[in-house]
Amino acid sequence: MRELLLQEILIPVITSIVLAGLSYLIAYTTGVLANIKDKRVAYHLFRATEIVEQAVRTVNQNWADQMKQEGSFNKESAMKAFQEAMNLSRNLISSETQKVIVDAHKDYQLWLQTQIEKQVSLSKANKELILTEYEETRP
């Protein structure tokens, strides 16, 4: 009777508990690893976005603004400024960050181009806002 109880009741119950515990442990570990990977991806994307923002600002301050003041800023010079920001960004973004971007977005070049265009648009919008605020506050 005791062996029957052990074989037919306790062993299946203990096996079920152990399997449930292992399933929980695997799910928990997978969640922790996914969270670590997500934080790693977020970190690299944040850093790359910061680099692109700085590259666009640098090109604007050092080159594009001067050409605009001289009146020589046209479509061709805008393309040169864009290329300068691309080159600067490419040189500053680490190979590890590039790999993360490829893993997350597939096309590094396209991601970089869109980020530069976004930063240029934000920069233009910010300048327009500053000019509007200046015009509203001047006597």
> What is the distance between the alpha carbons of residues 7 and 78, in angstroms, rounded to a whole number?
80
> What is the distance between the alpha carbons of residues 122 and 60, in angstroms, rounded to a whole number?
12
Q: Is the pLDDT of residue 103 over 60?
A: yes
Q: Which two tokens stand for residue 81?
A: 């400024």
Q: For the chain, give every domain's residue range.
A: 40-137
Select the more confidently predicted residue: 68 or 56.
Answer: 56
Closest CA to 124 of 63, 64, 35: 64
Look-up: residue for tokens 């052990």?
6
Q: Is the pLDDT of residue 18 over 50?
A: yes
